[in-house]
Amino acid sequence: MTELTTLTARAAVDLLRRGDVSPLELIDAAVARIEATDGDLNALSTLCIERARAHAKRIMDGAPNTSGRAPALGGLPIAVKDLNDVAGVRTTYGSPLFADHVPDTSDIMVETLEANGAIVLAKANTPEFGHGANTFNEVFGQTRNPWNTAMTCGGSSGGSAVAVATGQTWLATGSDLGCSLRTPAAFCSVVGLRPYPGRVARGPTRLPYDNLWVQGPMARNVGDTALMLDAMTGAHPADPISLSKPNTPFLDAVDNPTAPKRIAFSADLGGLTPVVAEVAEICAGAAQRFAELGAVVEDACPDVSDARDIFHVLRAYQFVGDLGPVVEANRDRVKPEVVWNLEEGYKITAERLAWADRARGHLNARVAKFFETYDLLITPAAVVPPFDVDIRAVDEVAGHKFENYFDWYTINYAITATSMPALSLPCGFTKTGLPVGLQVVGPPRGEAQLLGAAGLMEEVFGHAQRLPIDPRPSASNMTT
């Protein structure tokens, strides 16, 4: 059982395709691993083992999927973030308002993954409605970092990141508005990919044309991330911004990569945000190692000076449109940060919203032009290492006090405002053994280029071989 949970997702899928292991055996292995580790971590909020076994039996009996092809994931168990509906499975969105909610149908992304051979084994913990970069809520409590269980795993896809880091599942889903795939990936030393908007079809959703938030894969390495992205993509009639599946699988970009030629590195996005000195130093050193691929690495950054203001306006507008009616009817039953978001949204005028929309168009054009010169932009994936799990949000870095609970991840949401795809890649550890990740940003719709380069660098860094790990309490945490 232990040997199965240490396999990469690709290796496990290969065994499934050859018939050397069954989906039921993988489910049993994952359940045993969850039972052995999750008491210290609280990553997986709800298990759906019998549903998973029933699905496994259908796959083993040769039930056809909607594509008429053999399912790409072959019966691989995964975890799904608790923001996504899974038919017949408790889905809370991390909120006491929905503590007993059991949807009748799955959402588009879950249906797509299941049609491609994924078996949903568990729901992964998330902050209330996915807002916040520390995974805790009033329904299930805190999720802890496996590298040091006194620390946060980040958020909002924190449960997903912990599940793959510790071998509870081979793959997990995440979503990302401001940082939610990238920060937990960095804090847990796994890979999280924020795809280009529309790459992964979403829905049903109250704001189908919104392109700030996306859904994407989390995995232990770049190849597994590409494998999962291939199983998630494709246009869907219910998602008006969804993109068609590309002719060439993303996994091909990992197996046949093209090395980048010119790379830009910026520790702080041109002075947009403070960064802890040790994190900046580790990331700068990691970025320079791209030279081992033959790339020229230069200190450079596109002009993203207005990205913070743009995101603040559009995020506030998005919150009112998405969650406004729910929060307004339940102000006394949700966390204070959620109510604050609603109040901020009410302040946005039509004039201010129009400015943000125009400014975002100019921002996108500037950054797209930047990628005519550079293949990739690299920054830290988080400006701090993992912090105390009891701290709700970082309020100060290097003497700079942040204005609100989400400004500490400006380095991520500034990239969200550009719409460019971005990947969090493990690149090192602090002196106290806490993970640090690079945010690797690619050109428009450039996930293939991004994954190919990240796969090459993953081999240089060598951190993927460290997973899965057993939970480490603070007293026994060791430098890595």
Residue numbers annotated as active site: 81, 156, 180
Residue 432 DSSP code: T
Question: What Å distances lie between residue 113 and 79, 132, 142, 147, 262, CA to CA?
Answer: 11, 26, 27, 29, 35
Q: Are strands 191-194 and 214-219 parallel, antiparallel or unpaired?
A: antiparallel
422 touches 307 (CB < 8 A): no
- Per DSSP, the residues of 193-239 read EEPPTTSB---S-S-TT--S-EEEEEESSHHHHHHHHHHH-B--TT-
- How far from chain centre, in Å, is Cα 73? 19
Return the exposure string of 221-251: e unless at least 16 CB atoms fall within 10 Å of the residue's CB, then b: bbbbbbbbbbbbbbebeebeebbeebeebbb
Query: Cα–Cα distance between 365 and 370 in angstroms, integer?
Result: 9
Return the exposure string of 100-114: e unless at least 16 CB atoms fall within 10 Å of the residue's CB, then b: eeebeebbbbbbbbb
CB atoms within 10 A of CB 430: 17
Query: Cα–Cα distance between 175 and 181 in angstroms, integer?
Result: 6
Helices (H), 19-125: 23-41, 49-60, 108-115
Which residues make beta-bridge pairs with 262?
Answer: 296
The identity of residue 130, as a single letter, is G
The identity of residue 437, as a single letter, is G
Residue 429 in tokens: 């550890």
Query: Cα–Cα distance between 129 and 318 in angstroms, integer?
Result: 13
| Short-list 464, 395, 472, 374, CA closest to 428 | 464
Read off φ and ψ for residue 296, nearest 5 degrees. -90, 125
138 touches 96 (CB < 8 A): yes
267 touches 379 (CB < 8 A): yes
